[in-house]
Amino acid sequence: MEGLAVPFPHLLPLPPFPKLAAAAAAISTSTSTGGGGGFISLKQQLQLRPRRRSPYCTSSSSSSSSHSQPEGERVSGDSIRERFLNFYASRGHKVLPSASLVPDDPTVLLTIAGMLQFKPIFLGNVPRQVPRATTSQRCIRTNDVHNVGNTSRHHTFFEMLGNFSFGDYFKKQAIQWAWDLSTVEFGLPSERLWISVYQDDDESFQLWSQQVGVPVERIKRLGEDDNFWTSGVTGPCGPCSEIYYDFHPERGYIDADLGDDTRFIEFYNLVFMQYNKKDDGSLEPLKQMNIDTGLGLERMARILQKVPNNYETDLILPIIEKASELANVSYGISDDQTKRYLKIVGDHMRAIVFLISDGVVPSNVGRGYVVRRLIRRVVRTGRLLGIKGDGRGDLEGAFLPTIAEKVVELSTHIDADVKNRAPRILEELKREELRFVQTLERGEKLLDEKLADAISSAERNGSVPCLAGEDVFILYDTYGFPMEITKEVAEERGVSIDMNGFDIEMDKQRRQSQAAHNTVKLAIGSGTNIADNVPDTEFIGYESLYCKAIVASLVVNGDPAVQVSEGSNVEVLLNKTPFYAESGGQIGDHGFLYISEGENQPKAVVEIIDVQKSFGNIFVHKGRVQKGVVEVGKQVEATVDVKLRQRAKVHHTATHLLQAALKKVIGQETSQAGSLVAFDRLRFDFNFHRPLLDSELAEIEVLINGWIENAILLQTKVMPLADAKRAGAIAMFGEKYGEEVRVVEVPGVSMELCGGTHVSNTSEIRGFKVISEQGIASGVRRIEAVAGEAFIEYVNARDSYLKQLCSTLKVKPEEVTARIENLLEELRVARNENSAVRAKAAVYKASVIASRAFLVGNSKQYRILVECLDDVDAESLKSAAEYLMETLADPAAIVLGSCPGEGKVSLVAAFTPGVVDQGIQAGKFIGQIAKLCGGGGGGRPNFAQAGGRKPDNLAGALEKAKSELIAHLCENGN
């Protein structure tokens, strides 16, 4: 069922939640009704919200048992949602709230289906809390984003109405209720409904035809791709049955194709979870059979409101109308392209607002990239529509917040919290839009040029126009254009894009961004690849820090060597090793390679200072021969530095605890954006939109140190990737994993896919302390911290600094802060007093030189004073100039200079009104003089300051100032 509950090809496999959603966990088991059509009072099950009359609905439709809609009546989307929940609540279903768009399930990025919060129950990992439930679930899917606006039914954000049975009722009730809901509750004409069933599901076919009475010619058997749902290669699965609405029954039964969008729309999907798929592909019946359904709210609204597409329902049309208003167009009479643009805005704005409300912050990775991509797509689409400004008079303002206000207004019955979060949502949208607009125009111009070049080149060569991958990457990397937007614009112009070239540039950037020591050279001078002749290295470092190994190859400066002597840098390839090679953020081990001569006499010693992994699984040990000669084929004793390995283990486990603590304190939506596990510290980058508060950092430390104190035993397992995801292990978004993965679990705290080394018990970490928290990119924060021995060293160092400070200040530790504050206040007072003394001295010097002013001009009435006051600082020089302005009669021009320190020049120009009236301004004048001293400056027409870096030029600069003042005032003065 495309766009609705299941099947979900991109969701496979479907592993379990690590825990049941909090809402479901709180449900009482007292609502169990057994196996059939048991009834629980609606008043007992649900306290309904007051039904609000919609402007789209001509009657209140207050009864949950209402029948067919009278001709002309238009039911609102909100009432469809409410009536669906009422219908199933009256049949013993517990009404549960929608889960967040950020799922409590690390195996999927966003909530893409109504059943997601119930996965642990369906997979048998947690017991059911109720036998049956019903929900209206907010969902996000972006796999069909390019179809938004082009078809009548595709969305990025939609609501999935669902009813679920956990080992309670099965096909008979699910099918009958789905039919009753459609034909009685919503009044759909039965002759317009078609059914699809799985090709081998005879039971469902008979129930639809015999129990419900659907004519067999309107029941279609479809294959596995369309009507059989699986949770993965193995596990729970079962056939599906779907209900379609026929917009053109006059076309008859012959050759009717349920996939024909012009005639049919699938609106309800029923999944009968009845089998367990085994490793050999065979199916065995489940002990507990489940029901999972999904009805698309937008699709049902389209049918009941009798509009040509989902966008023109009351769920989306008001948003489109707001965008139309800003674009100064009318949706109803617009051409198809304009309508498409408006539909994109209407759809995407819903997704954006609800994502940000649920804590997803725009960024360049993970969920943040999803919302940033949608925002940028709307901004560009808005510009194509001609939207300028915020619609409230600010032509440079952001328009997304204005449209978002309409989404917030419509959100009341979907998620009441959106309105409370509106200020944060609107501010985030404004910030993100204005940031993107700064580069959008330049990027659009460049893209237009590149597309024109591609088209011209293709015309000359008689080929198909194609945009080079390098150009696509420049637009992405420099101008912030998501690759998808570039592709979309190119397709509009009939130009394809070179995705392989783009991927190559992306890979090149990743490789170039790595530190130099991360690069391992395995190609010899002749161009032969050493890796071709060396097997993968066997790593035994999880179990042992020592082993005997054979030297498989030696490399010096990129060239192969048979032997390497003392004093040489070397790269050693062994057949097996206990050394951990840098990966997953953890740096490589240090240690030694020994070649023994006698019992206790090493013939050769190589100190290993780094280990890298290259060409799949070849470990490259980088080091220096400290003694003797190392030869290919010789046996060595490989020994890892135990203390440094322990430091790395401590910091790696602490990193897992830090991620778990961040999710608890600032929200599950935060995700890892990079890490470093070193011997002296750990570094963790994560997606978040603001600096962390001191109180939040303190809470994180308390959580982590509490887990350390609890002495939790870690569990490490190697298992198939699908099994690991089912178990709830967190995978890094964008990371590539093999079929077999290593899972590191701190029970009750975290579970991650990780190949790094870890402590066996959290008590080994001893202590944890955050050193710093800072922003490193838009939407990305970084925490640096220490743990274990590094934590002890950090605390001891800080204690030593404090003792020294206490000794210097002669106070107790608890008195240091107060003493420093007193000293700072005393220093401030002393500086003010000193400044006042210097100002008085400068004014005294000014009084002495005032008599040096001379008269110029035709009437000899302009006074000019240009002098150097030696080492007077800038502030005091200003005071001197102000004094001279008051002392010398108008009109007067004063220019003073000084050298307050080594390599420093200060200048000031003060002109009375009579001089300014002659067209000479202090700011412009002194700025030009300052250039002669290697500086610049400016200010008001009557008073300005400047500075420079060439004291030797000051005398010449002042002479220049004097001559220009004389020339100007003699020429222009009366």
Name residues whose C-beta falls within 8 Å of residue 503's C-beta, 6 or more positions apart in sequence. Answer: 469
Starting at the edge strand found earlier in the chain, the sheet holding 672-677 runs 672-677, 682-687, 780-787, 768-777
Q: Are 554 and 561 in contact (CB under 8 A)?
A: yes
Query: How are beta strands 538-539 and 576-577 bridged, if at all?
Result: parallel
Query: How are beta strands 943-948 and 936-939 bridged, if at all?
Result: antiparallel
CA–CA separation, 339 vs 334, rounded Å?
Answer: 6
| Residue 656 among known ligand-binding residues | yes
CA–CA separation, 462 vs 774, rounded Å?
Answer: 54
Tokens representing 21 are 């959603």
Tokens representing 607 are 């100190």
Residue 904 sits at the vertex; the CA angle it makes with 903 and 906, to the nearest 5 degrees, is 160
Unique residue bearing structure tokens 């779907």 = 242
Residue-level length of the chain: 974
| Residue 248 among known ligand-binding residues | no
| Residue 968 among known ligand-binding residues | no
| Residue 348 among known ligand-binding residues | no
CA–CA separation, 558 vs 231, rounded Å?
Answer: 49
CA–CA separation, 639 vs 596, rounded Å?
Answer: 13
**Closest to 556 in 3D by CA, of 524, 595, 590:** 524
Query: Cα–chain-centroid distance for residue 886?
Result: 61
Question: What is residue 329's three-state secondary structure?
Answer: coil
Q: 123 forms bridges with which residues in the sheet? A: none
Alpha-carbon dihedral of residues 533, 537, 538, 544, nearest 10 degrees?
A: 140
Q: 892 forms bridges with which residues in the sheet? A: 863
CA–CA separation, 406 vs 884, rounded Å?
Answer: 63
Q: Does an H or E element contain 756, and which?
A: none
**Closest to 376 in 3D by CA, of 409, 411, 412, 351:** 351
Q: Please report the sign of the dihedral spanned by the C-alpha atoms of residue 909, residue 912, residue 916, residue 918.
A: negative
Question: What is residue 693's three-state secondary structure?
Answer: coil
Tokens representing 298 are 């937008």
**Mind spelling out the 3-state secondary structure of 244-266?**
EEECCHHHCCCCCCCCCCCCEEE
Q: Does an H or E element contain 348, and which?
A: helix 336-357
Q: Are 576 and 537 in contact (CB under 8 A)?
A: yes
Question: What is residue 335's three-state secondary structure?
Answer: coil
CA–CA separation, 464 vs 774, rounded Å?
Answer: 48
Name residues whose C-beta falls within 8 Å of residue 3's C-beta, 6 or more positions apart in sequence. Answer: 141, 144, 153, 154, 155, 158, 296, 299
CA–CA separation, 101 vs 110, rounded Å?
Answer: 6
Q: Does an H or E element contain 928, and which?
A: helix 922-931
Tokens representing 815 are 């008195």
Q: What is the amino acid identity at position 966?
A: I
CA–CA separation, 776 vs 685, rounded Å?
Answer: 8
CA–CA separation, 355 vs 626, rounded Å?
Answer: 58
Residue 740 sits at the vertex; the CA angle it makes with 739 and 743, to the nearest 5 degrees, is 130
Name residues whose C-beta falls within 8 Å of residue 425's C-beta, 6 or more positions apart in sequence. Answer: 353, 356, 357, 404, 408, 418
Helix, strand, coil tally for the chain in percent (to 5) = 40, 25, 35
CA–CA separation, 542 vs 863, rounded Å?
Answer: 87
Residues in the annotated binding site: 652, 656, 754, 758
Residues in the annotated binding site for Zn(2+): 652, 656, 754, 758
